[in-house]
DNA sequence: AATGAAAACCCTTGCTG
DNA sequence: CAGCAAGGGTTTTCATT
């Protein structure tokens, strides 16, 4: 189900190229991978079908659209409340990402909000479901790095 | 410098469309935004120039390329060691993302590794720079959700 | 800023080696 | 998988508003 896909050098070069620029024309990706255009199109199609490439998405800067404050929030919730909490989190546009994790926290999430008042309000709302721990993001020195061949 | 960009309804529709499918043809994006193809291309160009769109990237599933174990790691480091630690983290392909945060932790990072042995080895290496706290990611119920109009 | 139309470029398909 | 060619789409450019 979640098995690793067999990737040769050309597949890795192709993945690196399409991670770097998802809108690059096939011609450019083909040159990067050392493949013909037709072979590149076919490989891309298969990588997507296999789920190696989950999608291609524009990355929008939260700060540029009015959400300059980011935070990482952990929340400890009792098992019976997990589903209700998740439903609430899914409904809140502030939540960029949320992981179900081992340890003291049940969930760790990454949020972006307009200002400290919005953060306070968000925390007030979710505190109903458990105790939270919040770390404000000051900067992001390593940002969503593409996967490379080990 | 990091000022919010003025976005009208059509710009938001365009952003939503290109976040949903970064490789969609201009024709499709244009229909989603209610613009002509030429106007769509021009707006996309300006959104990228302004940094609202930071890039368009293929999203590769770590599990499918041999990195099925993910973890969120916090590390507490004394100020004089921060630069050295960051240099190490940048050099390690395991690190997907790393935030400089407020609170007890200096950095919070998201990593993907091949197995528990690789996680143990990674932690052993960075423990030289400070105390770490590790949460294993069991699942990711909310994954890199695109930004929507508030 | 937006439009429509022309020109340039790109992608797909089918074929051969 | 490469190369080629034909065709149909797509993107870019540009004159116009």
> What's the confidence (pLDDT) of residue B25?
98
% of chain A at pLDDT higher than 90: 95
Query: Model confidence over A111-132: pLDDT tens digits?
Result: 999 999 999 999 999 999 999 9
Provide residues 9-38 of A with CB closer than 7 Å to any strand C atom.
25-27, 37-38
Query: Model confidence over A7-38: pLDDT tens digits?
Result: 999 999 999 999 999 999 999 999 999 999 99
> What's the confidence (pLDDT) of residue A1?
55
Round to whole Å and give the CA distance between A28 and A40.
10
Residues of A in contact with B138 (CB under 8 A): 99-102
Asked if A58 and B56 come within 8 Å (Cβ–Cβ), the reply is: yes
> What's the confidence (pLDDT) of residue B150?
83
Please check the confidence at residue A4 and state whether its pLDDT lies above 90. Answer: no
What's the Å distance between residue A12 CA and nucleotide D6 C1'? 32
Query: Model confidence over A62-98: pLDDT tens digits?
Result: 999 999 999 999 999 999 999 999 999 999 999 999 9
C strand bases under 7 Å from protein CB: 1-5, 9-15
Query: Model confidence over A47-61: pLDDT tens digits?
Result: 999 999 999 999 999
- Among B120, B121, B102, B98, which Cα is nearest to B110's? B98
Question: Where are any strands of DSSP class E within B9-146?
Answer: 53-60, 69-76, 95-101, 107-113, 131-142
> What's the confidence (pLDDT) of residue A2?
63
Residues A118 and A107 sit within 8 Å (Cβ to Cβ):
no
Mean pLDDT of chain B: 97
Round to whole Å and give the CA distance between A70 and A115.
9
What Cα–Cα distance (Å) separates residue A140 from each residue in A32, A72, B87, B111? 28, 12, 14, 14
What's the Å distance between residue B35 CA and nucleotide C3 C1'? 10
Residues A141 and A75 sit within 8 Å (Cβ to Cβ):
no
The tokens for B70 are 């993910």
- Among A40, A52, A36, which Cα is nearest to A14's? A40
Q: Tell me, rounded to whole angstroms, the distance of Cα B113 from its chain centroid.
A: 17
Find where tokens 């540029």 sit. Answer: A64
Read off the pLDDT band of B111 (50, 70, 90).
very high
Q: What is the arithmetic mean of pLDDT over B32-41?
A: 98
- DSSP lists the bridge partners of residue B56 as A58
The tokens for A28 are 């450019």
Nearest to A108 among B67, B114, B135 (CB): B135
> What's the confidence (pLDDT) of residue A113?
98
Please check the confidence at residue B1 and state whether its pLDDT lies above 60. Answer: no
* Nucleotide closest in space to B23 (CA vs C1'): D10
Read off the pLDDT band of A3 (50, 70, 90).
confident
Round to whole Å and give the CA distance between B120 and B134.
10
* Chain A closest-CA separation from residue B52 CA (Å): 5
> What's the confidence (pLDDT) of residue B96?
98
Read off the pLDDT band of B2 (50, 70, 90).
low
Read off the pLDDT band of B20 (50, 70, 90).
very high
Round to whole Å and give the CA distance between A69 and A11.
38
Q: Which domains does chain A have, with CATH numbers?
A: 9-49 (1.10.10.10), 62-136 (3.30.70.920)
Angle between helices B82-91 and B116-126 (to 10 degrees): 150
């Amino acid at each position: 189900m979640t098995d690793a896909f067999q990737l040769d050098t050309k597949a890795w070069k192709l993945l690196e190229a399409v991670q770097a620029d998802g809108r690059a024309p096939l011609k450019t990706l083909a040159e990067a991978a050392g493949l013909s255009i037709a072979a590149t199109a076919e490989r891309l199609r298969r990588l997507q079908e296999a789920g190696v490439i989950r999608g291609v998405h524009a990355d929008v800067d939260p700060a540029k659209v009015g959400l300059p404050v980011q935070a990482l929030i952990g929340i400890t919730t009792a098992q019976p409340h997990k589903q209700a909490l998740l439903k609430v989190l899914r409904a809140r546009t502030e939540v960029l990402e949320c992981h179900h994790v081992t340890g003291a926290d049940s969930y760790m999430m990454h949020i972006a909000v307009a200002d400290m008042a919005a953060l306070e309000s968000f925390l007030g709302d979710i505190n109903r479901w458990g105790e939270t721990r919040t770390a404000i993001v000051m900067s992001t020195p390593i940002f969503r790095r593409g996967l490379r061949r080990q």
